[in-house]
């Protein structure tokens, strides 16, 4: 990845300061709130904040080896004619119930391969279905199978390199998953649950505290592949956001700190909707003495531990609720320029099947100095953030820094996505070329200025925290990752390229976007344009 030397040296100098073990300032050792963990995972001109940064790759395999444990080989994925990506997305139903039917093993095999399997073998590093920060692959995929033909019920780890299942808990059942969810009845009739975890140290060694952001965003990438692939194959899927963390961690025989469940997906044959599920309220665990948590010197460890959900009555009483829950809604941007530019939603989106797009998806190696067709941007934006049914939360929006898009002046725009009917509107916020400023804010990564447009996911931390407490930061990262994956897939289907460029200076990027850096913050950046 080519960068401006000056920007790189500034960041490297800051990283060296962190590496040499300077004391972590008090403001970089947060309590558990969404804003505080966001601050502790920033990049600044002084380097990665809140932790020592090692300048070497973490000495961890991007997979769990399970020595001496038998494998059950999965059948080869079945690539058949499928439904176009855009059609699948527009028809996606978040209120599905499950019919209680069994799932063929061949269908599960195909689904796992598209979730995060190998899409192209390579002599050095096989290419995977979902992108990963630094190709370190912190994410692991597990299956709790109940009604899958050809395998016994239980919990399995998906061995990506072997395309096989490794048994980890023969006693695990979907009833155990249901007991951990805030809405247990959502599991009724499902064939399996797919649980996405992260081995956090795989990112921590290279990215320090910021690796926590990347891990959750990567889970969003992986989970979005799963949701779209399941829909293409005719399966129902639900992705609850609230569960008792340690119940699910224990089900997979993981400790919940070095590796933890970060996302949950239920799959099965779709049935008729059964109405609103009954909830068993869960609350953030809270921790009376955060410093006593093993590994508490690391801010993400403290945050993740303190935002685990538990049943009411299990909260440690010595700590007050999150102050962020009382914050009011963030105001809309005030730096509007002229009237919003309406882009008509157009018919004729590409019809490339979901499975083909996922298998073909790559991160752009370079961008061409040509303009992006306006219709292509419209299709990608509509897929990324114009279909409210696909949103994991209500608290993520897209900003666009336009360099070269036919029919649009260079400048900063906000994408309207409050409803599907409004999803074609781009609201101009600043005019003029921002390429040089964006590259500088983006750690000198020139691709952010060479692409036709940079799409930035912005989280409304104030509203998210008021609605969901400190744990909401996990949710907006998952949602930002899912949004970015739809950008990737929409670009691939449209014959253009995309690349995640998330290693930016937070304060500078927030300032460029006109954000206050507290209520509303940038959480992810994806470049888009003609290229390969």
Instruction: Please determine, for residue 24, whether its predicted confidence score (pLDDT) is greater than 70.
Output: no
Q: Are 76 and 248 in contact (CB under 8 A)?
A: no
Looking at residue 214, its pLDDT comes to 98
Share of the chain above pLDDT 90, in %: 71
Closest CA to 96 of 220, 219, 240, 222: 240
3-state secondary structure 195-218: EEEEECHHHHHHHHHHHHHHHHHH
Report residue 80's pLDDT band, with 50, 70 and 90 as the boundaries: confident
Place of tokens 């003495």: 289
Catalogue all structural domains in the chain, each as residue range(s) with its CATH number.
72-282 (3.40.109.10), 341-529 (3.40.109.10)
Report residue 321's pLDDT band, with 50, 70 and 90 as the boundaries: very low
Q: Where are the alpha helices (DSSP H) in 67-210?
A: 85-91, 105-116, 174-180, 201-207
User: Is 80 strand, coil or helix?
Assistant: coil
Condensed to tens digits (0 to 9), the pLDDT of residues 278-289 reads 888 999 987 666
Q: Hey, what are 66's tokens?
A: 């399970």
Q: Hey, what are 481's tokens?
A: 């990752």
Looking at residue 298, its pLDDT comes to 84
Instruction: Please determine, for residue 165, whether its predicted confidence score (pLDDT) is greater than 50.
Output: yes
CA dist 186 and 461 (Å) reads 28
Instruction: Please determine, for residue 177, whether its predicted confidence score (pLDDT) is greater than 90.
Output: yes
Which DSSP category does 448 fall into? H
Report residue 124's pLDDT band, with 50, 70 and 90 as the boundaries: confident
Condensed to tens digits (0 to 9), the pLDDT of residues 341-372 reads 544 444 678 899 999 999 999 999 999 999 99
Residues 6+ apart with CB under 8 A from 223: 196, 239, 263, 265, 478, 481, 482
How many residues in the chain? 532
Mean pLDDT of the residues in the chain? 86
Instruction: Please determine, for residue 31, whether its predicted confidence score (pLDDT) is greater than 60.
Output: yes
Condensed to tens digits (0 to 9), the pLDDT of residues 410-462 reads 999 999 765 544 446 799 999 999 999 999 999 999 999 999 999 999 999 99
- Within the chain, how many helices (H) and strands (E) appear? 16, 21
Looking at residue 425, its pLDDT comes to 79
Instruction: Please determine, for residue 8, whether its predicted confidence score (pLDDT) is greater than 60.
Output: no
Q: Are 346 and 424 in contact (CB under 8 A)?
A: no
Looking at residue 417, its pLDDT comes to 65
Condensed to tens digits (0 to 9), the pLDDT of residues 485-504 reads 999 999 999 999 999 999 99
Looking at residue 114, its pLDDT comes to 98
Which DSSP category does 21 fall into? T
CA dist 400 and 258 (Å) reads 36
Highest average pLDDT, of 113-127, 159-173, 271-285, 406-420, comes from 159-173
Looking at residue 60, its pLDDT comes to 66
**Lowest mean pLDDT across 111-115, 123-127, 506-510:** 123-127
Place of tokens 């999803």: 423
CA dist 155 and 264 (Å) reads 14
Looking at residue 266, its pLDDT comes to 98
Instruction: Please determine, for residue 122, whether its predicted confidence score (pLDDT) is greater than 90.
Output: no
| Strand stretches in 315-452, DSSP E | 341-342, 396-402, 411-415, 425-431
Cα distances from 222 to residues 132, 141, 197, 480, in angstroms, run 9, 9, 11, 12
Cα distances from 198 to residues 30, 217, 249, 365, in angstroms, run 21, 11, 11, 27
Residues 6+ apart with CB under 8 A from 330: 460, 461, 462, 463, 516, 519, 520
State the pTM of this model.
0.89
Instruction: Please determine, for residue 317, whether its predicted confidence score (pLDDT) is greater than 60.
Output: no
β-bridge mates for residue 128, sequence order: 118
Residues 6+ apart with CB under 8 A from 463: 327, 329, 330, 394, 395
Q: Are 235 and 269 in contact (CB under 8 A)?
A: yes
Q: Which residue has the higher pLDDT, 424 or 127?
A: 127
Instruction: Please determine, for residue 324, whether its predicted confidence score (pLDDT) is greater than 80.
Output: no
Instruction: Please determine, for residue 30, whether its predicted confidence score (pLDDT) is greater than 60.
Output: no
Looking at residue 333, its pLDDT comes to 33
């Amino acid at each position: 990845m080519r960068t401006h030397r000056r920007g790189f040296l500034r960041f490297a100098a800051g990283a060296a300061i962190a590496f040499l073990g300077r004391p972590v300032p008090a403001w970089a050792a947060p309590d558990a709130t969404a804003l505080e963990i966001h601050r502790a995972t920033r990049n600044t001109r002084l380097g990665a904040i809140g932790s020592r940064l090692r300048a070497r790759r973490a000495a961890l395999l991007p997979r769990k080896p399970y020595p001496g444990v038998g494998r059950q080989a999965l059948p080869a994925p079945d690539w058949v004619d499928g439904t176009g990506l855009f059609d699948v997305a527009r028809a996606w139903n978040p209120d599905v119930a499950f019919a209680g039917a069994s799932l063929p093993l061949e269908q599960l095999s195909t689904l796992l391969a598209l979730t995060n399997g190998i899409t192209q073998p390579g002599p050095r590093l096989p290419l995977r279905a979902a992108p990963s920060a630094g190709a370190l692959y912190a994410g692991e995929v597990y299956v709790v199978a109940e009604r899958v033909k050809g395998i016994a019920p239980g919990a399995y780890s998906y061995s990506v390199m072997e395309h096989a299942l490794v048994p980890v808990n023969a006693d695990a059942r979907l009833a155990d998953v249901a007991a951990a969810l805030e809405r247990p009845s959502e599991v009724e009739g499902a064939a399996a649950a797919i649980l996405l975890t992260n081995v956090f140290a795989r990112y921590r060694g290279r990215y320090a505290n910021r690796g926590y952001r990347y891990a959750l965003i990567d889970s969003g990438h992986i989970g979005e592949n799963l949701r779209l692939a399941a829909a293409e194959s005719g399966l129902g899927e639900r992705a609850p956001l609230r569960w008792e963390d340690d119940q699910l961690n224990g089900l997979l025989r993981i400790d919940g700190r070095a590796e933890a469940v970060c996302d949950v997906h239920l799959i099965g044959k779709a049935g008729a909707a059964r109405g609103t599920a009954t909830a068993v309220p869960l609350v953030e665990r809270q921790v009376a003495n955060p410093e006593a948590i093993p590994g508490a010197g690391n801010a993400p460890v403290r945050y993740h531990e303190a935002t685990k959900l538990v049943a009411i009555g299990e909260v440690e009483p010595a700590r007050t609720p999150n102050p962020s829950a009382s914050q009011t809604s963030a105001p809309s941007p005030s730096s509007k320029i002229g009237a919003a530019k309406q882009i008509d939603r157009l018919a004729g989106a590409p019809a490339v099947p979901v499975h083909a797009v996922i298998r073909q998806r790559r991160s752009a190696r370079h961008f061409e100095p040509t303009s992006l067709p306006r219709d292509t941007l419209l299709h990608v934006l509509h897929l990324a953030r114009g279909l409210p049914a696909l949103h994991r939360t209500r608290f993520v929006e897209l900003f666009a820094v336009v360099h070269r898009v036919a029919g649009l002046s260079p400048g900063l725009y906000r994408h309207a996505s409050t409803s599907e009917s409004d999803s074609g509107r781009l609201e101009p916020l600043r005019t003029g070329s921002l390429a040089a400023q964006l590259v500088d804010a983006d750690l000198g990564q020139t691709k952010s200025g060479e692409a036709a447009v940079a799409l930035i996911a912005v989280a409304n931390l104030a509203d998210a925290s008021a609605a969901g407490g400190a744990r909401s930061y996990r949710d907006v990262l998952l949602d930002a990752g899912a949004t970015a994956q739809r950008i990737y897939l929409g670009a691939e289907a449209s014959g253009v390229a995309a690349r995640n460029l998330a290693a930016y200076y937070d304060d500078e990027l927030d300032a460029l976007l006109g954000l206050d850096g507290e209520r509303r913050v940038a959480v992810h950046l994806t470049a888009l344009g003609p290229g390969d």
